[in-house]
Structure 1
Amino acid sequence: MTELSISTAAGVFDAIVAGPPAGRPVLLLHGFPQTGRVWQRQIAALAAQGYRVVAPDQRGYSPGARPERPEDYHISVLVHDVVAITEELGWAAFDLVGHDWGGAVAWWTADAHPGRVRTLTVVSTPHPGALATTLRTDQDQRDRSRYMIDWCETPATEERMLAGDAKKLRAAYAGKIPQASADANVRHLSQPGALTAALNWYRAGRPDGVIGVIDVPTLYVWSTEDSAFGPAAAQETSQWINGPYRFETLQGVSHWIPEEAPDTLSRLLLEQLRTHGTYGTTAHTPSTDSPKR
């Protein structure tokens, strides 16, 4: 795996990259409170099969793309980052994968740019329309999502999360990810302004528009012990997919699927890519994503 700097009009995004430069391109989007390195096991698995894989640290997580205002983290802006990053990489079409907030960005990107997204894989996060429906109809999901309202406090949330060697931030991982990963996340989010930027994703306000049904081939992976997203939203997601759809449930696994069940997720992801290898355009522009210094 190689470190990569991706320069866009919005700033410079740090990323890790692996796989042959001419390989079929795959973009991996992380969530809160993690970075692109959450995907290390999946990156290795995909690169070994000839895919060109890039996992950026998203807006706010990359020091070179860290605006201070919450409104700079609207979902439409985050989607534009995906487009800008892939254009800078020279990718006309790509497979898109997202977890947690990265999953939300992936849903919105597939809706806005179906001609560019070859396949969509979302881990944990239900379709935003399904989540909105269950927030109106399901008390269990309303209870699970209450933290999103609580985290809009500033700077109180940051102070609570980082107090006592980031005890509350570490508690979010519930002991389900490797200790080294938790320590690396805490170090990253302890940088000046980093945690506030990450929390601005929650503070940015409602989406600018309405998301529709998804037409591209979609794999949705949900786990039964996810504390943030319950079964109602997971099951409702099928109502928002028009394209080929596969729903996988991981029994006894928490929200942190990429690191808690890495081999299972890598297998499912590779199956998705192989099954829909010829969807849409079968050609893509060779990658130009050589590391920039």
Structure 2
Amino acid sequence: MERFERSGLTFDVRDCGPADGEPVVLLHGFPQDGTAWSGVVPLLHAAGLRTLVPDQRGYSPGARPRSRREYTLGHAVDDVLALLDAADLTAAHVVGHDWGGAVAWVLAGRHPVRVKSLTVVSTPHPAAMIRSMTRSTQGLRSWYMLAFQLPWLPELLMPGRMFDGLRRSGLPAAHAEHYAQMMQRPGALGHALNWYRAMPFAAGQKAPRSRVPTTYVWGNKDFALGRAAAEWTADFALADYRFVELDAGHWLPERRPEQVAAAIVERVSSTS
């Protein structure tokens, strides 16, 4: 399968690995696409797992709704459900990084019967994130979320500076160049930023606790996501829970693919 559809939108997806392997859905964040998992996917295939890696809404050229209201996590969760339906899967193991991690948390909380296990990379549970905003330095770390609410100015200033900014944040050069070039395509950056600009429309909507077996992988040098939210995430996982702390930064799928893959394989094998 190379594409799937939902509500008139067409999503690109990379469906690879053993056809009879346990299915694993991997969700990327900002400003990535499915290639964020390029170092992880072969290791999962070697472990006998099938991988489905979509380019999420705003990133797939055929899935770019114009209204920022259509970029709330609820819409993104429904996209994953549509992917599972298109692949004829009752449930799958779900992995997410950055915004993809937020989608994964909400999916597991709202639709646990569709999620065999959960592995979230970098992103704390949304409720832990909210708690940390006023009880730690997380609010200062998240200043960019407020800046991204501005109309047109981020699209004007960011494209020419994105490569250098991503490199300074610790992303490998090859990935930084790919993401920066992707965001320079017409309309791409604005649609990706709509994930942030949709946040006001989700105010007051609580993310349920995870009721599926869950592993949370966090880098203690993450520039965007601090320790407080990472440690409080345990309060929002009701099933078997494992916290993996790495001596690393934010870009764990690109920087630490072996350790990320090992965490996924361990969680899948302990659940299947």
- Which TM-score bucket, shorter chain as reference? over 0.9
Partner of 2:253: 258
Look up the SS of the partner of 1:172 in the other structure.
helix
Look up the SS of the partner of 1:65 in the other structure.
coil
In structure 2, C-alpha distance between the alignment counterparts of 1:13 and 1:272, rounded to whole Å: 27
In structure 2, C-alpha distance between the alignment counterparts of 1:266 and 1:33, rounded to whole Å: 21
Shift of 1:22: 2.1
**Worse-superposed segment, 169-178 or 218-227:** 169-178
Shift of 1:10: 4.0
Query: Aligned residues: percent identity?
Result: 40
Partner of 2:65: 67
Structure 1 segments (4+ residues) deviating >3 Å: none
Partner amino acid for 1:95? Answer: H
Partner of 1:171: 165
Q: Which has the higher contact order (CA 8 A, sep 6+)?
A: 1
Look up the SS of the partner of 1:247 in the other structure.
strand
Look up the SS of the partner of 1:212 in the other structure.
coil
Partner of 1:199: 193
Give the length in aligned residue pairs.
270
Instruction: Specify whether residues 13 and 173 from structure 1 end up closer, same or farther in structure 2 by C-alpha distance, changes over 3 A only.
Output: farther
Partner amino acid for 1:260? Answer: R
In structure 2, C-alpha distance between the alignment counterparts of 1:156 and 1:76, rounded to whole Å: 27
User: Within the alignment, does 1:186 sit opposite 2:184 as a pair?
Assistant: no
Contact 2:26 2:54 in 1 (8 A): yes
Contact 2:2 2:12 in 1 (8 A): yes
In structure 2, runs of 5+ residues without a counterpart are none
Partner amino acid for 2:242? Answer: R
Q: Aligned-pair RMSD on alpha carbons?
A: 1.4
In structure 2, C-alpha distance between the alignment counterparts of 1:10 and 1:124, rounded to whole Å: 31
Partner amino acid for 2:176? Answer: A
What's the CA shift string for 1:24-75, capped at 9, x where partnerless? 1110000001000100121111112221101110000000000111111011
Partner of 1:104: 102
Contact 2:72 2:195 in 1 (8 A): yes
In structure 2, C-alpha distance between the alignment counterparts of 1:10 and 1:99, rounded to whole Å: 26
Partner of 1:284: none
Instruction: Specify whether residues 172 and 154 from structure 1 end up closer, same or farther in structure 2 by C-alpha distance, changes over 3 A only.
Output: farther
What's the CA shift string for 1:1-29, capped at 9, x where partnerless? xx812223241111222112222111000
In the superposition, the TM-score normalised over structure 2's length comes to 0.95
Partner of 2:213: 217
What's the CA shift string for 1:221-240, capped at 9, x where partnerless? 01111011100000000011
User: Within the alignment, does 1:272 sit opposite 2:267 as a pair?
Assistant: yes
Instruction: Specify whether residues 10 and 128 from structure 1 end up closer, same or farther in structure 2 by C-alpha distance, changes over 3 A only.
Output: farther
Instruction: Specify whether residues 10 and 76 from structure 1 end up closer, same or farther in structure 2 by C-alpha distance, changes over 3 A only.
Output: farther
Q: Map residues 42-121 of structure 1 onto 2, 5 A cutoff.
A: 42-121=40-119
In structure 2, C-alpha distance between the alignment counterparts of 1:25 and 1:185, rounded to whole Å: 26
Shift of 1:107: 0.3
Contact 1:21 1:52 in 2 (8 A): yes
Contact 1:10 1:81 in 2 (8 A): no
**Worse-superposed segment, 153-162 or 9-18:** 9-18
Of 213, 231, 234, which residue of structure 2 is paired with 1:235? Answer: 231
Q: Map residues 106-185 of structure 1 onto 2, 5 A cutoff.
A: 106-138=104-136, 140-162=137-159, 166-174=160-168, 176-185=170-179
Contact 2:166 2:176 in 1 (8 A): no
Look up the SS of the partner of 2:95 in the other structure.
strand
Partner of 2:17: 19
Shift of 1:169: 4.9
Contact 1:8 1:88 in 2 (8 A): no
In structure 2, C-alpha distance between the alignment counterparts of 1:136 and 1:10, rounded to whole Å: 40
In structure 2, C-alpha distance between the alignment counterparts of 1:259 and 1:45, rounded to whole Å: 13
Partner amino acid for 1:161? Answer: M
In structure 2, C-alpha distance between the alignment counterparts of 1:197 and 1:49, rounded to whole Å: 35
Shift of 1:160: 0.8
